[in-house]
């Protein structure tokens, strides 16, 4: 690996790790306090609104951000930036009008919740702001300037979280959740302009539009079906069950997806431009990808183990009896995340190789053939636990589907994937047995038992990959040049 590229990767991981720790820790604390103050029904209302708004939001940037990042140095210029900016602005206005006039009433009628007609237009204000930030964010990502991205994301999230808390304590109820997302976009806007210094000009180029739109439309199609995968369970639970059921499921999904999604976001934001730069070197791509899978699994599997073993005391102590129905879905979803990590970031890899069409077809197949039928029947017959089980089955099947294409594109075998995740899985088994015995047999307090589990997990990892991790950490010394 070239020294400069390795420094860029290490620097990106360092700054994104800071973002993960600060942003997620703060967001988790905000969710904790809001769950104490608010009720499942209020979380459920926002969950219902998000189903519809998020589906529209994936059309927001037309995949232009991903296209700008992926383009080679000699194939992108200022005309691409300005064209993407103005197209995004005009398109976002059209989308917002559709949301206010069509989507909000449709959602209110679909769920029988008139309040959604008021919530959705406010929740969707970010659609008007996001295109303004699109080019700035893509430029920073393309330049691997994750330090500035970390500062902007953390600052805007902290600001938005504080707004949410103030509104919750002032008894604004569900609106404290709604304004959280809007405030995040609004706070980031001036910081992006300051970070890049880029200013839009009245330039729109037809050739540049076709250039980025040709790549972006496939990426957008993938995002549409990714969103369908991510939100179809919310849609079905809200329709077939109740707003309260959706609220408890939302909390379970938030607790598991908080860690998985943010870690993958860290790695994807760092590795996606790297995949684009090295798309012709398949050996390097395979090595990079397997390392991403290994370290994602090492970090995430330990967290999921704690949620599986100690879901009941965590929910009851931190959130209260009103959230007791979250326990079983939380445990099942935690299992699903462990399987997900075996092929984490595979779609980012495929897109980075310049194959957004394949990524789109892959997500389309998984959505229509696997995910939608599983979620519908699981929820209808077994409630929120059935929805969680459907996701677990979907993740298991996705491992084999993704591996087939990884083998075809880069020669990555199923055995190679298992070897990459073996340290995390073996450590998971050892620590789970120790934690279960400590808590259920010896009846040691759950906090002490959780500490024992974590200790066993870390010790097991030390014996299996300690030397390798120390070698990787030694390379962090090179960050001195990156951070200057």
Residue pLDDT, tens place only, 440-474: 999 999 999 999 999 999 999 999 887 877 776 66
DSSP code per residue over 402-454:
HHHHHHHHH---HHHHHHHHHHHHHHHHHHHHHHHIIIIIS---HHHHHHHHH
Structure tokens at 218: 């496939």
Q: Mean of the pLDDT values across residues 327-347?
A: 86
pLDDT digits (tens, 9 = 90+) for 344-396: 767 667 766 666 677 677 777 777 778 889 999 999 999 999 999 999 998 89
> With the C-alpha atoms ordered 259, 150, 167, 101, is the resulting torsion angle positive or negative?
negative
pLDDT of residue 483: 40
Residue count of the chain: 484
> Residue 28 — pLDDT band, cuts 50, 70, 90?
low
Q: What is the DSSP string of 266-285?
A: HHHHHHHHHHHHTTT-HHHH
Q: Which of 9-13, 133-137, 437-441 has the highest mean pLDDT?
A: 437-441
pLDDT of residue 336: 92
In this prediction, residue 218 carries a pLDDT of 58
* Mean pLDDT across 196-201: 80
Q: Is the pLDDT of residue 271 over 60?
A: no
pLDDT score at 430: 94
- For residues 32 and 215, which has the higher predicted lDDT (pLDDT)? 32
pLDDT at 20: 61
3-state DSSP of 252-267: HHHHHHHHHHHHHHHH
Banded pLDDT at 481 (limits 50, 70, 90): very low
Band (131; pLDDT cuts 50, 70, 90): confident
- Going by pLDDT thresholds of 50, 70 and 90, the confidence category of residue 428 is very high
77: left (phi over 0), alpha (psi -120 to 50) or beta: beta
Residue 311 pLDDT exceeds 70 = yes
Mean pLDDT of the chain: 79
Mean pLDDT, residues 436-443: 93
289 Cα distance to chain centroid: 18
Maximum mean pLDDT: which of 24-28, 116-120, 198-202, 296-300? 116-120
What pLDDT, on the 0 to 100 scale, is given for residue 281? Answer: 65
Better-predicted residue by pLDDT, 296 or 144: 296
> Residue 228's pLDDT is what?
65
- Give the per-residue pLDDT at 258: 63
Q: What is the pLDDT of residue 387?
A: 93
Of 196, 80, 206, give the one whose Cα is nearest residue 141.
196
Selection from 51-60, 288-297, 350-359 with the highest mean pLDDT: 288-297
Contacts of 113 (CB under 8 A, 6+ apart): 45, 48, 107, 243
Query: What pLDDT shows up at residue 129?
Result: 81
- When pLDDT is cut at 50, 70 and 90, the band that residue 484 belongs to is very low
* pLDDT value of residue 269: 57
Residue 413 pLDDT: 83
Q: Among 237, 432, 449, 453, which residue's Cα sits nearest to residue 326?
A: 237
pLDDT band at 227 (very low <50, low <70, confident <90, very high): low
Q: What is the pLDDT of residue 327?
A: 94
Read off the DSSP letter of residue 241.
Answer: S
For the chain, give me the number of helices (H) and strands (E)? 21, 0
- The answer, yes or no, to whether residue 146 has pLDDT greater than 80, is no
**Two structure tokens written together for 436:** 């279960």
Tens of pLDDT, residue by residue over 74-105, are 566 677 788 878 888 888 898 899 899 998 99
> Whose CA is closest to 168, among 43, 70, 267, 265?
43
CA 405 to chain centroid: 22
Whether the per-residue pLDDT at 202 is higher than 90: the answer is: no
Measured CA to CA, the distance from residue 173 to residue 140 in angstroms comes to 36
Percent of the chain with pLDDT over 90: 19
Alpha carbon dihedral 8, 13, 19, 20, in 10-degree steps, equals 160
Q: Rounded to 10 degrees, what is the CA torsion of 356, 148, 197, 219?
A: 10
- Residues 159-190: tens digit of each pLDDT: 888 888 888 888 888 888 888 778 888 888 88
């Amino acid at each position: 690996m070239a020294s400069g590229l390795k420094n860029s990767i290490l620097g990106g991981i360092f700054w994104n790790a800071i973002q993960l720790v600060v942003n997620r820790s703060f967001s988790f604390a905000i969710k904790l306090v809001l769950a104490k103050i608010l009720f499942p029904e209020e979380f459920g209302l926002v969950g219902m609104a998000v189903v519809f708004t998020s589906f529209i939001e994936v059309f927001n940037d037309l995949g232009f951000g991903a296209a700008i990042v992926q383009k080679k140095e000699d194939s992108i210029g200022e005309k691409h930036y300005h064209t993407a900016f103005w197209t995004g602005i005009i398109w976002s206005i059209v989308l917002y009008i559709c949301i206010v006039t069509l989507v909000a009433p449709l959602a209110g009628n679909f769920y029988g919740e008139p309040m959604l007609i008021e919530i959705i237009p406010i929740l969707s204000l970010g659609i008007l702001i996001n295109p303004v930030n699109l080019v700035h964010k893509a430029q920073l990502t393309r330049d691997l300037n994750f330090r500035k991205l970390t500062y902007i994301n953390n600052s805007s999230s902290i600001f938005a979280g504080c707004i949410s808390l103030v509104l919750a304590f002032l008894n604004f109820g569900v609106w404290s959740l709604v304004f959280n997302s809007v405030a995040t976009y609004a706070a980031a806007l001036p910081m992006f302009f300051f970070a890049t210094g880029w200013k839009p000009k009245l330039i729109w180029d037809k050739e540049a539009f076709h250039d980025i739109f040709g790549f972006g439309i496939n990426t957008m199609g993938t995002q549409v079906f990714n969103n369908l995968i991510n939100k179809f369970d919310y849609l079905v639970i809200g329709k077939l069950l109740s707003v309260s059921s959706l609220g408890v499921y939302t909390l379970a999904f938030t607790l598991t997806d908080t860690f998985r999604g943010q870690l993958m976001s860290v790695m994807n934001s760092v590795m996606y431009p790297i995949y684009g730069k090295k798309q012709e070197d398949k050996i390097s791509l395979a090595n990079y990808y397997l390392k991403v899978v290994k370290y994602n699994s090492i970090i995430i599997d330990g967290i999921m183990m704690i949620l599986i073993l100690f879901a009941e005391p965590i929910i009851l102590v931190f959130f209260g009896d009103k959230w007791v129905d979250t326990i079983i879905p939380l445990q099942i979803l935690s299992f699903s995340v462990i399987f997900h990590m075996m092929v984490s970031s595979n779609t980012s890899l495929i897109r980075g190789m310049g194959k957004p069409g394949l990524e789109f077809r892959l997500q389309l197949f998984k959505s229509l053939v696997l995910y939608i039928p599983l979620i519908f029947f699981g929820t209808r017959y077994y409630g929120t636990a059935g929805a969680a089980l459907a996701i677990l089955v979907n993740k298991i099947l996705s491992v084999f589907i993704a591996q087939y294409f990884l083998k075809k594109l880069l020669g990555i075998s199923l055995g190679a994937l298992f070897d990459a995740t073996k340290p995390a899985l073996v450590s998971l088994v050892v620590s789970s047995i120790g934690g279960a015995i400590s808590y259920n047999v010896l009846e040691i307090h759950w906090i002490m038992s959780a500490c024992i589990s974590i200790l066993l997990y870390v010790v097991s990892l030390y014996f299996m990959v300690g030397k390798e991790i120390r070698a990787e950490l030694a390379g962090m010394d090179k960050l001195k040049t990156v951070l200057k």
